[in-house]
Structures are given as structure tokens and as C-alpha cells.
Amino acid sequence: MRRPEAVPADAGAARRRPVHEAVALAAAISHDLQAPITRLRLRADLIADRGLREHIVADLERVAAMLQEQLDYVRSGHLREAPVPLDLAALVESVAEGLLDLGHRVEVQGSLRGRYRGALRALERVLQNLAVNAVVHGGGAAVMRMSEDDAAACILVLDEGPGIPPAMLEQVFEPFYRLEEARSGGGSGLGLAIARNLARAHGGEIRLSNRPGGGLQARLTVPQSRGRSA
């Protein structure tokens, strides 16, 4: 009879090593490319043709943003800031106000009274990604509706856009996956993937579904904290 192999004491560390290596590689690539991008920006200022100069600078800014978003995706599986007590309802309101300031129509409904802990910037990123996705692909308007039970908060982000074919409701969470109609927006296809990773790192989840009357619903759940002061 074959004897079972002993599991090394550092097996957990061995499993985590590929993740850390991927993060380090992405960070190194991002860092190495920042210098040539900066040099190209400076050289673009020497271009006499204003229109050409602006196009080149815009392209360089898009490349820099894509590099940062890819790095954010690699890091999103693990929280990089300590969880703290937070006012989740106020965070929802803050994200909505930011979009209102940009001219979008965002309505906040409901309230939250439970106790929550989380990485503030990470949860803000989750809410921003969902809300921006709603206003960009939902006609410039969205509703952020809050509710809760004894276990978790539920935040619905609703839009009035065309929705998503049912077979693709999970595929859109895959890295770099973009629906055909969304490609003209210039996104990298990582926004929803980052949002779900960060939600799961908090013990929560994001699910998408099509609304019966039209539009898309993103459902974010965030567990309540237990045994800790808010």
C-alpha cells in the first residue's frame, strides 16, 4: 500500500508563492514601463503640431492607465490595507456624490444600520467600478439601493441599459473579457474582475442579473462584522 505523502509545514506558503511572484512581476513591469512613458510624454511636448501632440499624450495616458489597472487586478485577490470599522452607507453616498459631480444621474435609496469592517479604499473601488459601469452602459443614470439583514448588507446597483445576454453574465467577470458593444469605451475589461476579487476578499460577493423591465442589476453583498465595535 502506498503511504500518503506528508504535507510540508510550509505548504500554505508554497501555494501563495505563485501569487506573490505574479504581483512582483506585474509591479516590476509597471515600474519599468513608467520611465519610458514619462520620457515619451516629455518628448511629445516638443511636437509642434498641437493636434498630433494631444493624440500622442492621450495614447500615453491610456497606456499608463491600462498598466495600473492590470497591476490593480493582480493585487485585488488580497487586501493590501488593514480592515477598519466603516460607515458603509456613507461610502455608498460618497461614491454617488462623486458621479453626480461629474454630471451623471445617480440616486441612492435605503439605509444601513449594521456594523461593518473592511478595507476602505478597496470597498470604495468596488462601489465605484459597479456604479461607473452602470452609468457608462446604462444611459448615464443609475440607482444604488441599500438593504440588510442580520448577516450582511446588500447593495444593488441598477441601470436602464440594454442588459447582458444571460449566457455572458458570468463571463464578463473574466479578466480582459469585454462585450462587443462595450469595446468602444476603451476599457481594459478588468473593472468587474477587480470588483469581484475585492468583494470576495471581504467575504462578500457580486452577482449580475438582467432586470425584468430592462437594464442590469449588480448585487453586492458585504457581511456584517461580528463581535467587534463599529
- CA atoms in the 13 A half-sphere facing the CB of 66: 14
The answer to whether 217 and 134 are in contact (CB under 8 A) is: no
Do 70 and 166 fall into the same domain? Answer: no
The pLDDT assigned to 127 comes to 96
The DSSP symbol for 151 reads: S
61 located within any domain: yes
**Beta carbons within 10 angstroms of residue 196's beta carbon:** 23
- Residue 35 has a pLDDT of 79
Question: Which of the listed residues 25, 41, 75 is the one where a domain comes to its end?
Answer: 75
Residue 185 pLDDT > 70:
no
Q: What are the tens digits of pLDDT across the range 110-169?
A: 999 999 999 999 999 999 999 999 999 888 899 999 999 999 999 999 999 888 899 899
97 with 70, same domain: the answer is no
Q: Is the pLDDT of residue 32 over 60?
A: yes
**C-alpha 117 chain-centroid distance:** 18
Kindly report whether the global pTM for this prediction surpasses the value 0.75. no
Provide the grid cell at 213: 423591465
Same domain? 97 vs 180: yes
Task: Give 35-99 as a DSSP string.
Answer: HHHHHHHHHHTT-S-HHHHHHHHHHHHHHHHHHHHHHHHHHTTS--S--EEE-HHHHHHHHHHHH
CATH number of the domain within which 96 lies: 3.30.565.10
Decide: 194 and 73 in contact? Cβ < 8 Å.
yes
Q: Are residues 117 and 215 in the same domain?
A: yes
Please tell me whether residues 138 and 171 are part of one structural domain: yes
Q: In what order do the strands lie in the sheet with 205-210?
A: 105-110, 141-148, 152-158, 216-223, 205-210
Residues 88, 149 within the same domain: yes
Distance between CA 185 and CA 62 in Å, rounded?
12
CB 155 within 8 A of CB 217: no
Query: Is 2 inside a domain boundary?
Result: no
Distances (CA, A) of 184 to 180, 189, 211: 8, 11, 24
Asked if the structure places residue 209 within a domain, the reply is yes
Distance, in Å, from the CA atom of 134 to the CA atom of 132, rounded to the nearest integer, reads 5
Same domain, residue pair 54 and 143: no
Q: Are residues 113 and 200 in the same domain?
A: yes
Query: In CATH, what number is assigned to the domain containing residue 49?
Result: 1.10.287.130
SS3 of 183, please? helix
- Average pLDDT for 29-51: 82
* Radius of gyration of the chain from its Cα atoms, rounded to whole angstroms: 21
Last residue of a domain, one of 75, 100, 118: 75
Percentage of the chain modeled with pLDDT above 90:
42
Task: State the residue range of the domain holding 149.
Answer: 84-223
β-strands 116-118, 152-158 pairing: unpaired
Domain count, the chain: 2
Q: Is residue 96 in some structural domain?
A: yes
Nearest-10 crossing angle of helices 88-101, 120-137? 40
Same-domain check for residues 66 and 90: no
**Residue 155 covered by a domain:** yes
Q: What cell does 210 get?
A: 438582467
63 and 128 housed in the same domain: no
- Over the stretch 98-115, which tens digit does the pLDDT of each residue have? 999 999 999 999 999 999
Please give the distance of CA 144 from its chain centroid, rounded to a whole number: 16
Last residue of a domain, one of 56, 75, 94: 75
